[in-house]
Structure 1
Amino acid sequence: MTQPPAPQPGPELDGLPSLEDLLAAAHVVDLPMRVRFRGVLRREVVLLRGPLGWAEWAPFVEYDDRDAARWLAAAVELGWRGLPDPVRTEVGVNATVPAVGPADVAGVLARFPGCRTVKVKVAEGGEELTDDLARVAEVRRVAGPGARVRVDANGAWDVEQARAALRRLARHDLEYAEQPCATVEELAALRVALARDGTDVPVAADESVRRAEDPLRVAREEAADLVVVKVAPLGGVARALAVVQACGLPAVVSSALDTSVGLAAGVALAAALPRLDHDCGLGTAALLAADVVPEPLLPVGGRLTTARADTARSAVDPALLAAYRAPAERERWWRDRLGRAHAVLAGTRGRDRRTGGV
């Protein structure tokens, strides 16, 4: 099917596109998932066709308008402003195992052929530590002794729970634990406790960076060994690069359960980082049962390339947009939300201009 004509670059490239332009460029889709992830079985996403290509705006439904505005800034960068130049053309990718039972682990890992690193969700609501131990043990068994295994608790533990859980999970040779506790203070206390216990599990900060008013605090307070950065929550590739540089910590790039369009922005960030020591969480298209491109951006041999990411951004299929178009009431909800996020972002840009900020 023929692609609709793209908007032409105009004066708005130096600023924020008008709300009218964004609404005219918006396509709201509702995509099924293969497994439950972050408590959802369907992922609602807004695709925006800008002058420089397709962009994605999909803040999780529980996020407030300020969070949603940061995600919108990332979409505007992708579709209207452009991305920084890469310093590498390939990025290693980790497999992602949701909170499934041990019997399902092998099937999930089979969707990530060639990946040498596995991230395992733990501390899911309604489950016990024994469930986490069984899942991680099965991941280690299936992936083998040479694989890197990391766990992600999404801030669900307090310090003592994290201390006890990681002491037991450490037997499976963890690469690191992502956001084991919710607050910066807890992460800092946990790092001290793990050192005292002799538990050799590095701590990574995710939510404490991407959802924080002060994303550099984790570095100042020595609350993490590395940071996990995501393009959309931080407001775009350029801002994420600045945050990583200011933190001075090793970084891992991860997705926010994006379509292939959003994942392409994640690849752009990972490709532009001056230092990249870890595989990145950019293989999550495998968790979607449908995408907006005919050939989803999935790792080959455990890697993604900038060339394939660029292709994915240009390959959005109008037939798929139509097939997975969100119901009318959800489309109205997202369009209303887009208006609110645009108002927040416009206000922020106005204050920045008055104060000389960027």
Structure 2
Amino acid sequence: MIEDLEELVLCESFSSDLEAVARSAKVVAAMGARHLGAQPEFLVIDGVAHLRWVFGTPRVLLLGHHDTVWPSGSLATHPWSVVDGVARGPGVFDMKAGLVQTFHALAGLDSLDGVTLLITGDEELGSRTSAKLIEDTARGLAAAFVMEASADGGALKTSRKGTSLYTVNVRGKAAHAGLEPEKGANAGIELAHQILAIAALGSGATTVTPTVLSGGTALNTVPAAASVGVDVRVAEVSEQARVDAAMRSLVPVVPGTHLEILGGPNRPPLESAMSASLYALAQDVAAGLGMEPLTSASVGGASDGNFTAGVGCPTLDGLGAVGGGAHADHEHVLVAEMPRRTALLRALISAVR
């Protein structure tokens, strides 16, 4: 397993580098073929390489991604290593160790009948090209096991917030800020009004956060344009709909300005009801394997498991690596946990099929 993990980590796969993602897909495909005895479908959508294996009549989906957030060349500053039982390197935790565990779990089954394995190439960019593929693959199945890294302490992820992404553009009218500012329509002031209104949409577990700001062209010019990006996280589908309706109902305050609202829901929430039965099953399976009792976590970050849950497929997330530091300098995997999590996944697949 360590040798396989090294092979994947040494093949960098920065999401925005399509050539690197394509090379990674070939390495992952070859590794999968070695373990599973079958070549995958290569599904290239808008230049992004995804892989899918289907065995018999689909019943259970294993879901992962091979792209990472680490820019090409990151191995120079974050080299692959295994020291004192800790593996490090770009993408080792999120989520190349999860892919290795998946292949080894499947390789140990007597039969692969009923299993579908989908490994996408743009999860870290919001799954722009793979969302529909994930939904179509998961629809009607009995279970989806998402091989994303675990939460703190190895906890399984039983709920994830859904995400919506917006850009609010303000159009105003330029004028000389010293000579005749009254003849302008200040897009910056309008944006300030809108930022306050947008931030007020957050409530309870729902967060609505204005993020990237831009506007204006010169210190002595009334800005004719301004914009803000908005990140929304929700725990329930109803909240996602509420915020979306409110965003689209925004109206300008400053006379002479106009609003353009772009974007919308990106991923639906993975609600705990969609994972409850599988988490209970995982607890029973872990006990049967003599493992310590499993723990669970609700997290704000989204994954492709949000899509599977969104089409009604029971989904359990966080079955991948145990470690920490996703996307950070201290990203790492606890090697001793890899075979344990592999055994848990293998038993879960057998129980569901």
TM-score (normalizing by structure 1): 0.26
Question: Over alpha carbons, which structure has the higher Rg?
Answer: 2
TM-score (normalizing by structure 2): 0.27
Q: Which has the higher strand share?
A: 2
